[in-house]
Structure 1
Amino acid sequence: MEHQPAPSTVADDPRARDLLRRAFEATARWPKDFQGFTADLTVNVNGNETSGSVLVKSPREVSVQLSDGDIQKWAQEQLGMIAVHRGPRSFDESDGKYTLTMEEDGHPLGVKLTILGSNSYYRLKDNRITQINRKMAHPGMNPFAFTINVEESAVTKDQKNLTTKYTVYYYSPTDGTLSNVESFTD
């Protein structure tokens, strides 16, 4: 779901904008001339592994081949989201279009940077996004929220940060009840 910035009476914080721009620019993304790739894929669901392959033609064209149809559908959705987030885009096309504010609250994952109009906030530390928090509602679906904690990342040959391990915590946006946890390693 594409979020559109909402009008805000809160002033944009230039320090927050600078911090997020630096983290955004230090994040690895595929180049504009990205040619795609194929890879072996292993999905582990509660200790049961299913192996197959994935073909990524572009950030919006991902195909997964697994023997279990339900797991294939799930993997296709997850890898599709990863591909979209690794696709080429500018800061201004992404979070830069929103009003940004910052709060230094002493959290171990870094400063809290709120993206007004997107129902999101990030935590940033050492020019990296270390946590993503978002509340979402789609027509016909129950509202949901999630927190993504970035646990490990690698530095690419061009000195960009590439997330390699993260955990997603899904919860109710109304009462905070945890509904699911998923961990990803690539």
Structure 2
Amino acid sequence: MPFRQRITRELKQWGLAGLIVLLALSATMEWTPAREQESTDSQQEKAAATKMYQKVREARATWRDFPGFTADVTVCYNGKCTTGKLVADNQFKIKLTLQDESLSEWSLPKLQSVIGHRKYRQQKPIPATFADQEVDHPLGRLVNIDGKNVSFRLQGDVMTEVHRRSDKSWFTISTLDVLRTKENETLPQVTSVTYRNPQTGEILSNRSNTFAFTRVGKFDLPTTMLTVECGEKFERNVGSIKLTNHRLLTDSALSQTN
């Protein structure tokens, strides 16, 4: 008898009994999804984390078409004060001239940071994932950035924390309060920075900061920065920077300052 006819006859003989056996076997088999394919839930959560991170980045106050500005500066650090002049050009390069240049080492990096972070950059979406399922944390969801040793806590449109850790450094920046611009963008008002030993996790120092800004034209320029720094061996340093007489630079004014 030909092979095909023999198979057909045997299937007919098995009939319903064969079907029952096949169903029973399939019920006991464990289904394993393909390793290369993420679950639908994972894909949806990754998309949600990426969207949340993008929303926060776009909500940060930045200065588009920035012409630069000048301001008078008063710097005080541990009871020692001096005055001078600040020039920030349209490329966000900072020039600080103080009567007592010894205070530049402390004040210049702070001015470069608060002004440099206002530089506008096109915010293309960056892939992100939720680090855990804790949805009720006081500072918001913890989000990891793919391929980077950095995590963020996000709450609404505010980046409440930055966590960076490597073999050489470990620090956390916590934003405890923000200011809102006329455009409803966010500026830091109260922050805390904690530095840790990257091997042991021991706290090395903490820096508390407050900031204030003033509206000049369409830009919210810094006016005051107050910092309290505490170290592991009873060190404590207090410093402030005050900016007054802000003036936006025109092309002619910029060439004169250069």
Q: When the two structures are superposed, what TM-score results if normalisation uses the length of structure 1? A: 0.77
Show the counterpart of 1:13. Answer: 46
Q: Percent identity?
A: 29
Q: Give the 3-state SS of the residue equivalent to 1:24 in structure 2.
A: helix
Q: Give the 3-state SS of the residue equivalent to 2:112 in structure 1.
A: helix
Q: When the two structures are superposed, what TM-score results if normalisation uses the length of structure 2? A: 0.57
Root-mean-square deviation (CA, aligned residues, Å) is 2.6
| 1:146 aligns to 2:171 (yes or no) | yes
What 5-or-longer segments of structure 1 have no aligned partner? Answer: 1-8, 138-142
What 5-or-longer segments of structure 2 have no aligned partner? Answer: 1-37, 212-258
Show the counterpart of 2:159. Answer: 129
1:115 to 128, 137, 145: 145
Greater gyration radius: 2
Q: Give the 3-state SS of the residue equivalent to 1:157 in structure 2.
A: coil
Deviations 1:12-31 (A, max 9, x none): 81101110111111111111
Is the CA contact (8 Å cut-off) linking 2:68 and 2:92 kept in structure 1? no
Q: Which 10-residue stretch deviates more, 61-70 or 47-56?
A: 47-56
Show the counterpart of 1:5. Answer: none
Show the 5 A alignment for 1:147-186: 147-186=172-211
Deviations 1:76-115 (A, max 9, x none): 22222222321101222xxx34x31113423210100111
Q: Give the 3-state SS of the residue equivalent to 1:86 in structure 2.
A: coil
The one-letter code of the counterpart of 1:117 is G
Q: Give the 3-state SS of the residue equivalent to 1:13 in structure 2.
A: helix
For 1:182 and 1:48, how far apart are their aligned partners in 2? 19
Is the CA contact (8 Å cut-off) linking 1:113 and 1:123 kept in structure 2? yes
Deviations 1:28-64 (A, max 9, x none): 1111x10112234444544555544432214540122
1:29 to 46, 54, 62: 62
Larger relative helix fraction: 2
Q: Tell me the number of residue pairs that the alignment of Structure 1 and Structure 2 aligns.
A: 168
For 2:113 and 2:210, how far apart are their aligned partners in 1? 14
Is the CA contact (8 Å cut-off) linking 1:59 and 1:84 kept in structure 2? no
The one-letter code of the counterpart of 2:129 is T
For 2:58 and 2:173, how far apart are their aligned partners in 1? 20
Show the 5 A alignment for 1:53-92: 53-58=85-90, 60-92=92-124
Q: Give the 3-state SS of the residue equivalent to 1:164 in structure 2.
A: strand
